[in-house]
Chain A
Amino acid sequence: MAAEKFTVETSLIRLFAQALGDTNPVYYEETAAGTDAGGVIAPPTFIQASAHWDPDYPLRWQPDKPWNGSGPTEGTRVERTGGGTGLHAEQHYEYHRPLRPGDVLTATTQPGKSWTREGRRGGTMQFRESVTEWRDEAGELVLTTRSVGVTTGKVVTSEGGDK
């Protein structure tokens, strides 16, 4: 996640909760006041939606940029999506306080460890970690995320990633 700035908004929290099928009243402004949180807060994995605020996010179609999905053709195999592919191996969050609508967050991302492992189904697997700190406008750390991505040597078949 490389959004330099991310404004937390009720509408996006609503969309995110709806996508998870989560009817918890805390995510909807018409019902949140009556909950233990006293108002809308963001779901635990909501920071992923900061991708919308990243001008260079590679997994969103944008005009005048190459896209590898189907359309004019059946698509194009590229390193970051198709066979011989980058997949998400681990995701970790450390919460310092809940995110609320109106929060304006800034991110600082640093690479973490990297390592390789021989997989049973995926060939040689290359793991890379990145750590992002999210701070509010007062400079307070509100959320730390640690993501581990894996690049496999071949398509990982239906029984899933190697353990």
Chain B
Amino acid sequence: MATWTAENVEKGAKQSKVVADGLYRTQIVQYAGASGDFNPLHTDEVFTTKIAGYPSVFAHGMLTMGLTGTLLTDALGNGTLRTFGVRFRSQVWPGDTLTATATVTDVTRSEDGTLVSVDVETVNQKGEVVVSGTATAAL
């Protein structure tokens, strides 16, 4: 059940969730398989280190966005989102622990329902922002 409902949600409310606890390469591969994005930068350590010049494979930005989205559906319910948008700010590497936080910035109640706006930000274990953005939901 969603944490925030039309009745209880208030501006300034905040909710956090650890959305990755020491990210495994295998989860990156699972996301590749599910999303269809098999870019070698995410799936092929040999290519990524020896040819592309990165320290290791790294997560799809869309994996991080998807993980961040699990906080939004936990907090706001299923099928309530009206918009969700992020910027990818830093790369996410195997082993990273990610914490997503949603903060309610506006609540508009009307006869048509309750429209909630949130800021969303996901940080790694060093406190670096990996994605940041906004979402709205109709409760």
B51 touches A82 (CB 8 A): yes
Interface range, B side: 35 or more
* Cβ–Cβ < 8 Å partners of A54 in chain B: 36
**Which chain B positions have C-beta within 8 A of A41?**
78-79
Using Cβ atoms and an 8 Å threshold, which residues of chain A touch B36? 48-52, 54, 57, 59-60
Residue of B nearest to A54 (CB): B36
Is A102 interfacial (CB-CB < 8 Å)? no
Q: Does A161 contact B (CB under 8 A)?
A: yes
B27 proximity list for chain A (CB < 8 A): 19, 21
Task: Contacts A90-B85, A93-B85, A160-B91 given; indicate if A75 touches B51 (C-beta within 8 A).
Answer: yes
Complex Cα gap A20–B31 (Å): 7
Task: Judge whether A77 and B51 touch: CB under 8 Å.
Answer: yes
Distance between Cα atoms of A69 and B91 in the complex (Å): 20
Query: Is A76 part of the binding interface, using a Cβ–Cβ cutoff of 8 Å?
Result: yes
Chain A min CB distance to B69 (Å): 4
Tell me the interface secondary structure of chain A in the complex: loop
Stretch from A104-112, A128-136, A151-159 contacting the other chain: A151-159
Residues of chain A touching chain B, judged by Cβ–Cβ distance below 8 Å, are 12, 15-16, 18-22, 24, 26, 35-37, 41, 43-45, 48-52, 54, 57, 59-61, 68-70, 74-77, 81-83, 85, 87-95, 97-98, 146, 155-161, 163
Q: Can you list 30 A-B contacts with CB-CB less than 8 angstroms, sorted by A residue number?
A: A18-B34, A19-B27, A19-B30, A20-B63, A20-B66, A20-B67, A20-B70, A21-B27, A21-B70, A26-B79, A36-B78, A36-B79, A45-B69, A48-B66, A49-B34, A49-B35, A57-B36, A60-B37, A60-B38, A61-B38, A70-B46, A82-B51, A82-B52, A90-B86, A93-B83, A93-B85, A159-B128, A160-B90, A160-B130, A161-B90
In addition to A50-B36, A89-B87, 4 A-B residue pairs with Cβ atoms within 8 Å of each other are A15-B33, A44-B72, A61-B38, A74-B46
